[in-house]
């Protein structure tokens, strides 16, 4: 049944590629993957394979790859992606020796791919369960590890109708999961090679903090003013927070939207009553008297959170919140929307007091009015957020030590 579904999906991809450049790039990349590997691989080297669906999973795998590269230069690293948004952004990442798309999970693709690269071990990050690749890896006795994985009772593996597909989990040599609930769920279906290590993302955000960029334009913009940073925002998020700053011009506002298309940027500008400038079009002098700075490029958000007293992470009024630890690591209180139940870090940040959930504009106004009147509360809640991230570090060392690296 799984292979039938895969071939139906493959037909869908081929058709969609006729109309979508993004899908077309993915389809071409998958077909070229094995050729790229043959061209770039060192036939005398031993390769460790890391697979990440997209950018979020890449960031979880990155601390492992970089520590492996640093401490075990005898190994080379193959990094594969499923999503174009992951591959296109990280195709020149210097921490891996070969970077490609992963060909779709057909039996033929899996055999050709693994026959070409012959990895000595493989790491699948978080939610990656490729049935044919994993079964062939197991048959070839290649150690396979699931890292930063997290499981919930509603997943198909734990339903009576998902038992057949659930066999794929038995292909893993070991699971490094984020929480005790995941370990218990796996134990119920007979999987006991499991260690609770937490999430490698916390190691990554601490690394990012240490290597944060100094941004003269942002420094000139904030210039001692209380500043609010909204990261990965969507239109519903912006409709909630922008009106408060229109009424409180003693605060500075930095918006780093998730989508930086021109239409969305113009939509944001139309809602702002004070002076707003775009990062790529401004100098340090020009931003000093502006109230709003719009980040219209990628790659800066993790450093920009450093300049805020309060942070907002978008997505909570849509498909789900984005990267909370990226903001919390800076020791600032983090506000986010209600669609956060599937995100363990959101629940834990709320529990410790470093994260604050809102359900609409009234909640946002209440929280910001309190922060506006009581800077000590901002500092106290921010410390809780920062301490939470520090307390979650260490998963990378635990994983690599456990696999003998």
Look over the chain and give the mean of its residue pLDDT values, rounded to a whole number: 93
Per DSSP bridges, beta strands 310-313 and 98-101 are unpaired
What residues pair up with 335 in beta bridges, in sequence order? 312, 356
Going from N- to C-terminal start, the domains of the chain cover: 2-207+393-402, 213-391
Fold assignment, 213-391: Rossmann fold (3.40.50)
Tell me, what DSSP letter sits at residue 346?
A: H
The answer to whether 292 and 307 have CB atoms below 8 angstroms apart is: no
Quote the CA–CA distance of 307 and 31 in Å, as a whole number: 43
CA 382 → CA 199, 333, 349, 357, distances in Å?
21, 4, 11, 15
d(CA 289, CA 38): 55
Q: What are the distances in angstroms from CA 96 to CA 100, 122, 154, 302?
A: 10, 14, 35, 22
Mean pLDDT of 77-90: 91
Say what the pLDDT of residue 14 is. Answer: 65
Nearest partner of 63 among 257, 256, 214, 197, judged by Cα: 197
Provide the b/e sequence for 78-115 (b: ≥16 CB within 10 Å): bbbbbbbebbebbeeeebbbbbbbbbbbbeebbeebbe
Give pairs for 286-291: CB < 8 Å, separation 24+: 287/217, 287/220, 287/221, 288/220, 288/221, 288/223, 290/221, 291/245, 291/249, 291/251, 291/252, 291/253
Sequence-ordered list of residues with C-beta below 8 angstroms from that of 15, at least 6 positions apart, any chain: none
13 pLDDT band, cuts 50/70/90, is: low
Q: What is the mean pLDDT of residues 269-295?
A: 94
Q: Residue 46 above 70 pLDDT?
A: yes
Q: What average pLDDT does range 15-44 have in this prediction?
A: 82
Asked which of 107-116, 193-202, 207-216, 381-390 is least confident by mean pLDDT, the reply is 207-216
Nearest-Å Rg of the Cα atoms of the chain is 23
Q: Do domains 2-207+393-402 and 213-391 have the same CATH topology?
A: yes
Mean per-residue pLDDT, 188-203: 95
pLDDT at 10: 67
Q: How confident is the model at residue 9 (pLDDT cuts 50, 70, 90)?
A: low
At residue 95 the predicted structure's pLDDT band, cuts being 50, 70 and 90, is: very high
pLDDT at 370 over 80: yes
Among 163-167, 263-267, 283-287, 346-350, the minimum mean pLDDT is found in: 163-167
Q: What is the pLDDT of residue 165?
A: 82
CATH number of 2-207+393-402: 3.40.50.11720
Quickly state the pLDDT bin for 7 (edges 50, 70, 90).
low
Burial of 245 (0-12, 13-18, 19+ CB in 10 A): buried
- Tally Cβ neighbours within 10 Å of residue 203: 26
329 three-state secondary structure: coil
What does the alpha-carbon distance between residue 273 and residue 276 come to, in Å, rounded to a whole number?
8
Q: Above pLDDT 90, what percent of the chain?
A: 78
Contacts 24+ apart (CB under 8 A), 397-402: 397/67, 398/176, 398/195, 398/197, 398/198, 399/64, 399/145, 399/147, 399/176, 399/197, 399/200, 400/64, 400/67, 400/68, 400/71, 402/174, 402/176, 402/195, 402/197
Query: Cβ atoms within 10 A of the Cβ of 159, count?
Result: 12
């Amino acid at each position: 049944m799984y292979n039938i579904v895969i071939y139906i999906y493959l037909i869908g991809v081929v058709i969609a590629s006729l109309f979508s450049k993004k899908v077309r790039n993915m389809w071409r990349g998958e077909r070229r993957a094995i050729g790229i590997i043959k061209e770039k691989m060192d036939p005398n080297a031993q390769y460790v394979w890391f697979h990440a669906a997209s950018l979020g999973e890449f960031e979880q795998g990155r601390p492992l790859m970089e520590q492996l590269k640093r401490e075990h230069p005898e190994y080379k690293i193959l990094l594969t992606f499923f999503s174009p948004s992951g591959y296109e952004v990280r195709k020149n990442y210097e921490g891996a020796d070969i970077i490609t798309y992963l060909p779709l999970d057909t039996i033929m693709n899996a055999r050709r791919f693994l026959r070409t690269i012959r990895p000595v071990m493989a790491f699948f990050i978080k939610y990656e369960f490729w049935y044919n690749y994993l079964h062939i890896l197991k048959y070839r006795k290649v150690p396979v590890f699931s890292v930063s994985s997290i499981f919930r009772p509603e997943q198909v593996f734990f339903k009576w109708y998902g038992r057949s597909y659930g066999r794929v989990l038995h292909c893993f040599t070991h699971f490094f999961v984020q929480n005790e609930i995941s370990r218990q769920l796996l134990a119920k279906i007979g999987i006991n090679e499991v260690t609770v290590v937490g999430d490698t993302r916390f190691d990554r955000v601490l690394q990012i903090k240490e290597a944060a960029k100094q941004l003269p334009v942002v420094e000139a913009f904030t210039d001692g003013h209380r500043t609010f940073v909204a990261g990965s925002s969507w239109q519903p998020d912006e409709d909630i927070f922008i009106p408060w700053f229109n009424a409180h011009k003693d605060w500075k506002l930095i918006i780093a939207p998730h989508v930086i298309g021109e239409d969305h940027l113009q939509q944001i500008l139309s809602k702002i009553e004070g002076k707003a400038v775009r990062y790529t079009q401004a100098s340090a002098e020009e931003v000093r008297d502006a109230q709003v700075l719009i980040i219209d490029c990628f790659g800066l958000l993790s450093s920009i959170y450093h300049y805020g007293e309060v942070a907002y992470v978008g997505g909570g009024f849509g498909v789900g919140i984005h990267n909370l630890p990226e903001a919390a690591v800076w020791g600032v209180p983090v506000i986010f929307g209600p669609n956060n139940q599937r995100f363990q870090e959101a629940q834990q940040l709320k529990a410790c007091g470093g994260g604050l959930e809102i359900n609409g504009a009234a909640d946002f106004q209440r929280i910001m009015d309190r922060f506006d009147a009581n800077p000590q509360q901002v500092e106290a809640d921010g410390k809780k957020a920062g301490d939470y991230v520090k307390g979650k570090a260490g998963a990378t060392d635990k994983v690599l030590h456990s696999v003998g690296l």
